[in-house]
Amino acid sequence: MNGSQLPSTECDVLVIGSGAGGLSTAITARKNGLNVVVVEKEPVFGGTTAFSGGVLWIPMSSTARTAGYADTREAVIRYMKAETGRWYDAPSVEAFIEKGPEMVDFFERETEVRFIPTLYPDYHPDVDGGVDIGRSILAAPYDIRALGPEMARLRRPLATITFIGMMFNSSNADLKHFFRFTKSFTSFRYVVKRLFNHVKELVLYRRGINVTSGNALAARLAKSALDLKIPIRTSTPAQELLTENGRVVGAVVKGPEGLQRIMARKGVVLAGGGFSHDVQRIAQAYPHVRAGGEHFSPVPRGNTGDGARMAEKVGGRVEIRFSSPAAWMPTSKVPLGNGEYGAFPHLLDRYKPGIIGVLSNGGRFTNESNSYHDVGAAMVAAQQGANTGMWLVCDQATISKYGLGYAKPAPMPLGPLVRNGYLVKGATLGELARKAGIDAAGLEQTVREYNEGAVHGEDRQFGRGSTSFNRYLADPDNKPNPCVAPIGAGPYYALRVVMGDLGTFDGLGTDVVGRVLDVQREPIEGLYAVGNDRASVMGGNYPGAGITLGPIMTFGYITGRHLAGLEPTIPPVIQPTERQVDAIPA
């Protein structure tokens, strides 16, 4: 398809995708004088961002400084070197550290985007350069009525992690009120007020209008773009990149009126969200899928690697290099009826005392209170043939207090979730194990051994509660260890968890400013990649809350400035290929 006979329009920059990567690039380019068009394959805008926690990892931001959190460039570099290991990319890391705070100030000064501080520790605060607080910031809540009629096109939050459509803020301070509402009058009043306001919104607008987390970030970015007269053309997938004399000059898109060409004088930016739902590519990239294991991703189903495929056709390259090619997220499958399932990402329950994770042999295999990515990596490492799942196990008192996955705490009923198979229930550990397909003797032995230390607040096998991050999402009222409590009297519950992801880490090779590189590591003129279409600066690791959105918006800002002629190019680092990696000592 050369598209020469198709209707044609022109712009300076064509952005393919409407998540944080695409919109931050588009807004930055437009603010610096360029004419920008955004196309989006889905009927809604917001991408994976709208499903996310809305947290950005931005060391040394003005948000953190204002809140009184000190940090140094040297500490950040030491931490990034420790976290990325052999994949440390000095020019990209230094650009991220320098431009991240600048990006935050730009968006707060020039757009509707606002951030608030969080109390999140780095995920590995005991690693050299790690900190207990100050690097993660959060998109401020937003009243989406400001979008006017465009509110209908904002992607709704992930349904499985809302309560009757009400979103919970990613800030732990917000969530604590919901866990303490029966114990504290302050929390009770907070929860009742939020529920009342949400029900009122449902009556008036048929959706929550005071949104939080990633939905707030997506809404704020979209409002900013629309205010700048940047068209966001939804239901308009890109079909093919157009080239002239080796330069990408536009793309063929298919909108409601049919095929057309959009020519881009400065460049085309791929921001399609990565390849989490590209069945063929994840079969190659994800080790547990290669082994026959199950994968169930909570990210939007439209993230099918379109950007990668289009780039490869014009010389770009996706290298599957990282030991973890995606940001792993343990996920359970919520029955929705008619054979359909929703994905529930396990962001909170694993940290709570009295909940353990076991394999089908009944044994624990990791510190359940580590980050979702670390637990996911442990699931991959512990896989037993094609079985990469784990079971979360707890007693009645624990599930009543904290819930388990999609199952809410008391007084919400558990019976429907037992009957539809989401939860398994047993009067004894042996009965639970037999119903779940877990080795009964193994589970009983594991619980005995775990309880020996748990009664003293100790996890003698994996050290739960030993870091500030372990403790951050646990229960501070549980003494002496907020992450550890014994498993007590039955009945008992088990919930099967499989591997999911929050987005891909491997992606198109680019230089610092986002130009897509060919197999000789030379830039393809006119072609850029941002967001999860671009290989992650984190090298396949997950150092802290927001390490996807932080770099995504920072490099989107850098790419937008480069398109406007404001950022110099920096030669790409020649990193080892997959074959060379095997020869490098660990």
Q: How far apart are CA 63 and CA 73, in angstroms?
A: 16
What one-character DSSP code corresponds to residue 315?
Answer: T
- The pTM assigned to this predicted structure is 0.92
pLDDT at 127: 97
Contact 386/295 with Cβ under 8 angstroms? no
Query: What's at 10, amino acid-wise?
Result: E
Per-residue pLDDT of 238-278, as tens digits, reads: 999 999 999 999 999 999 999 999 999 999 999 999 999 99
- Residue 427: name the closest of 354, 490, 493 by CA: 490
Task: Give me the residue spans of the domains in the chain.
Answer: 327-501
pLDDT at 579: 31
Contact 309/277 with Cβ under 8 angstroms? no
Contact 397/354 with Cβ under 8 angstroms? yes
Contact 304/275 with Cβ under 8 angstroms? yes
- Residue 176: name the closest of 351, 49, 27 by CA: 351
Residues of the chain with pLDDT under 50: 1, 577-586
Question: Which DSSP string do the residues of 470-509 spell out, in sequence order?
Answer: HHHTS-TTSSS-TT-----SS-EEEEEEEEEEEEES--B-
Of the candidate CATH numbers 3.90.700.10, 3.30.230.10, 3.30.479.30, 3.50.50.60, the domain formed by 327-501 belongs to 3.90.700.10
**The pair of three-digit structure tokens given for residue 12, joined into one six-digit string:** 């300076």
Contact 228/31 with Cβ under 8 angstroms? yes
* Strands of 352-389, DSSP E: 356-358
Per-residue pLDDT of 30-46, as tens digits, reads: 999 999 999 999 999 99
pLDDT at 262: 98
pLDDT at 580: 33
Task: Give the pairing type, strands 523-529 and 258-270.
Answer: parallel
- Residue 360: name the closest of 430, 433, 450 by CA: 433
Q: What share of the chain is helix, strand, coil (3-state, %, to 5)?
A: 35, 20, 40
**The pair of three-digit structure tokens given for residue 56, joined into one six-digit string:** 């950005």
Non-local CB neighbours of 356 within 8 Å, separated by 6+ positions: 364, 368, 392, 393, 394, 446, 447, 450, 487
Contact 433/424 with Cβ under 8 angstroms? no
Per the DSSP assignment, residues forming a β-bridge with 487 are: none
Non-local CB neighbours of 144 within 8 Å, separated by 6+ positions: 151, 154, 209, 210, 211, 215, 219
Question: Which DSSP string do the residues of 173-217 spell out, in sequence order?
Answer: HHHHHHHSTTT-HHHHHHHHHHHHHHHHHHHHHSS--EE-HHHHH
Report the SS3 class of residue 393.
Answer: strand
pLDDT at 201: 76
Q: How far apart are CA 202 and CA 434, in angstroms?
A: 43
